[in-house]
Structure 1
Amino acid sequence: MGAEKITLRLTPRGKPLPKLPAELPISSDASVDALYDAVAKLTGFSRHRLRITKSDSSHLKPSPTVTLEDSHLYDESSVFIKDLGLQIDWQTVFLIEYLGPLIIHPLFILFRNQIYGFTPPFLQWAGPPSSTPATTTQLTLCAMVILHYIKRELETLFIHRFSAATMPLSSLVRNTAYYWTMGGLYLGYFIYAPSTTEAAPLTFYAGILIWIFAELSNFKTHMTLRNLRRPGSTDRGIPTGYGFNLVTCPNYMFEVLGWFAFAMITGWKIPALVFWGSGLFIQTKWAGQKERRYRKEFGDKYKKKRTVIIPFVL
């Protein structure tokens, strides 16, 4: 049966959309992407700012291959248009997130005397004011942080392919706060405090070797994930190979291993352990979500994993 001209009923959901007409004539074999483009042109908003749902409240996900007929939209079908508000692309979000600790940690070294020259009463336990230079351990920890986040920034620019183009601008502070406060100010203040002593040689060098292994392995798994997705597409494949035979998300596994090595070099300082533990908690949650998504999306083609982030444990 050939394509036919249909009319969709358009209804705003949430705040009013003054430019949105009540009807939209469109071909039944038009893609969902074409529908988003048409509504974006009518409203004057970016297509990434819009969310289109059907009358059963199911999300009509953008797709260049799925047609309106495939989506069970016919003549006189109703769709609901929601304005998601101002958006920011995910690449920019990641760049801003990682910029925080990349700037903050070196500042603790560069302005060490000014920062630790005055210690408020409630932080007296962190040590007396210092005029001594940073220790070799502290300089090494700072270098590890800088290299880690430079790697993250470069991966964001040249490696990662994002399944979602944008997120609401209003969520930017929430998304960046963790890296700027927990990973930047909180971790940095106590790691570079005068009370931090030199790590024992065995702990120091073992920690560095584990960290290097974790960083390189994390990069390798990011390359595997990149190669699953064609440029400009949002399609997904089943990841296999290095690390993926052990857990759902080896990229997260190696990430938490790297911060474990970092905490090890600090002498198991509480702030380093708190940052490691919070990262483990968050990424375990994300890895569990990915495991469930893989099972749902790929069915019997996907080999289910018992552990998502730490082999045989979690």
Structure 2
Amino acid sequence: MSNITLTVQPRGKPIRKLPKEVEISLNASTEELHTALSAASGCSIHRMRITKGSDRSLVPNSNGTTIDETGLRNSSVIHVKDLGPQIAWRTVFIIEYLGPLLIPALFLFPLRPLLYFNYDKPLPEPSHVQRLVCGLLTAHFLKREFETIFVHRFSNATMPAHNILKNSAHYWALAGFNIAYWVFRPNSTAATDSPNEALVYAGLALFSFSQLANLNAHLILRNLRRAGTTERGIPSGFGFNWVTCPNYFFEILAWLGVYLVSQCNWSVLFFILVGGLQMWSWAWKKEKRYRKEFGDKYKKKRTVLLPGLL
């Protein structure tokens, strides 16, 4: 039997016009199943989550997976859930990085008199180090925006729209408000006219190297996936033999460079620790996924984030 009929049941919020059955070929891709149900119900394909009724496992929206490969058979039950309003991942990242891209310059210049109103007047001009830190923050998030628009290829097209505030809070609050307010204070470690030059030059060197290495890792990851697909491959190249996610490793090194230039301001270190813990969690999940997806073809990593440590 080349064609089968699947029983369709809504899960959670009812979907208007969702058919009770759908006929499809065993050789059809799961992407075709998503497209057929989207066309019949009027629900965007990006809002639908389809799972098997037998074990609740996901039926992916994939051009490379057939209905037969999912284990679905004639009269099998599938559940269709409406995930609600969605927003494109690319848009999410643009919004996330926009805050910390603009906030440092705003805090250091036009908003400076308002933020530090309780200091003796006139306020001292921003120090050379404070201006330098502002430049590094701006350069970092300009690079992030560039990569979001021109480099990254996303495995999922969208995410629930209500998550945008939660996702943005980390960067706007910790990388934006937190670092800019404390580093640019008139009495911060970075406000000095006599900075430790060794810290400044070491930080600049570390920041520059790490940004280039991070970009290289992102380009390697980009080239593993053809445009418009969700396919994955085993990454290799500079850094990938050390840890699972060298892009995260170089990201941390770049922020350590900012920390040194800021004359070791605690707010930068706080951001590194919070972000590092989150990246360590993401890196372990990716390591587990690589092991499951590629089996013996994948060389297991003992450390996923920091070589020899985490």
TM-score (norm 2): 0.95
Matches within 5 A, 1:126-137: 131-137=123-129
Deviation at 1:25, TM superposition (A): 2.3
Output the CA distance in 2 between the equivalents of 1:130 and 1:265: 26
In the alignment, is the contact (CA less than 8 A) between 1:207 and 1:265 conserved in 2?
Answer: yes
Output the CA distance in 2 between the equivalents of 1:282 and 1:130: 41
Matches within 5 A, 1:68-217: 68-119=67-118, 131-196=123-188, 197-198=191-192, 199-217=195-213
1:291 matched residue in structure 2: 287
Deviation at 1:130, TM superposition (A): 5.4
- Kindly provide the CA deviation profile for residues 7-29 of structure 1, in whole angstroms up to 9, marking residues without a partner as x: 21110000111211211222232
Output the CA distance in 2 between the equivalents of 1:79 and 1:129: 69
In the alignment, is the contact (CA less than 8 A) between 2:29 and 2:67 conserved in 1?
Answer: yes
In the alignment, is the contact (CA less than 8 A) between 1:105 and 1:145 conserved in 2?
Answer: yes
How many pairs align? 305
In the alignment, is the contact (CA less than 8 A) between 1:128 and 1:194 conserved in 2?
Answer: no
1:59 matched residue in structure 2: 58
Output the CA distance in 1 between the equivalents of 2:150 and 2:140: 15
In the alignment, is the contact (CA less than 8 A) between 1:129 and 1:194 conserved in 2?
Answer: no
In the alignment, is the contact (CA less than 8 A) between 2:200 and 2:263 conserved in 1?
Answer: no
Of residues 248, 253, 256, the one that matches 1:252 is 248
Deviation at 1:231, TM superposition (A): 1.2
Structure 2 CA distance for partners of 1:77 and 1:116, relative to 1, 3 Å: closer
Tell me the SS of whatever aligns to 1:69.
helix
Deviation at 1:66, TM superposition (A): 1.9
Residue 303 (structure 1) aligned with residue 282 (structure 2)? no
Of residues 234, 246, 256, the one that matches 1:238 is 234
Instruction: Give percent identity, aligned residues only.
Output: 44
Query: Aligned partner of 1:42: which letter?
Result: A
RMSD over aligned CA atoms reads 1.4
Output the CA distance in 1 between the equivalents of 2:11 and 2:120: 58
TM-score (norm 1): 0.94
Tell me the SS of whatever aligns to 2:155.
coil
Tell me the SS of whatever aligns to 1:70.
helix
Output the CA distance in 2 between the equivalents of 1:210 and 1:8: 57
